[in-house]
């Protein structure tokens, strides 16, 4: 299974709502990532988890709260978002290591988030 799944596919929320995005992989990867992507732009890294521990936080506002409950799951909890947070949120996974071949990231289809 070389698939990364993300739910939901689409999400519309108000600025006072609390919602969560979910990502799952069963490739045995121990690194998982959240990216934010605006239209016609490259993905911007938000968070990296390595062995279920947060290893990189790219100065993301606290209204985004990641969680890695186990090696297969990655969540992104959303609270009090702003309209400018509307974007495609991509999850990815990879092996952990510094040798060649460990850097290939597998991406999910993304969640299209709209904040009203």
Partner 1 sequence: AQSVTQPDIHITVSEGASLELRCNYSYGATPYLFWYVQSPGQGLQLLLKYFSGDTLVQGIKGFEAEFKRSQSSFNLRKPSVHWSDAAEYFCAVGAQTGNQFYFGTGTSLTVIP
- The residues of the shown chain that bind partner 1, judged by CB under 8 A, are 4, 6, 31, 40-43, 45, 48, 50, 55-56, 88, 90, 92, 94, 96, 98, 100-110, 112
Q: Least Å distance between CB 75 and partner 1? A: 18
| Cβ-count burial 45-70 (b if 16+ within 10 Å, e if not) | bbbbbeebeeeeeeebeeebebebee
Q: Which is nearer to partner 1, 27 or 80 (CB)?
A: 27
Q: Which is nearer to partner 1, 22 or 79 (CB)?
A: 22
Q: Which is nearer to partner 1, 79 or 112 (CB)?
A: 112
For 41, residues 6+ apart whose C-beta sits below 8 A from its C-beta are none
Cis peptide before 38 (omega within 30 of 0): no
């Amino acid at each position: 299974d070389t698939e990364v799944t993300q739910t939901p596919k689409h999400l519309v929320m108000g600025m006072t709502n609390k919602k969560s995005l979910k990502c799952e992989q069963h490739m045995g990867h121990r690194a998982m990532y959240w990216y934010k992507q605006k239209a016609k732009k490259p993905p911007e890294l938000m968070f990296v988890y390595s062995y279920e521990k947060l290893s990189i936080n790219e100065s993301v506002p606290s209204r985004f709260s990641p969680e890695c409950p186990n090696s297969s799951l990655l969540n992104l909890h959303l609270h009090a978002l702003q309209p400018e947070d509307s974007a495609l949120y991509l999850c990815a996974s990879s092996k952990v290591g510094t040798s060649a071949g460990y850097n290939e990231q597998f991406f999910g289809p993304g969640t299209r988030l709209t904040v009203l």
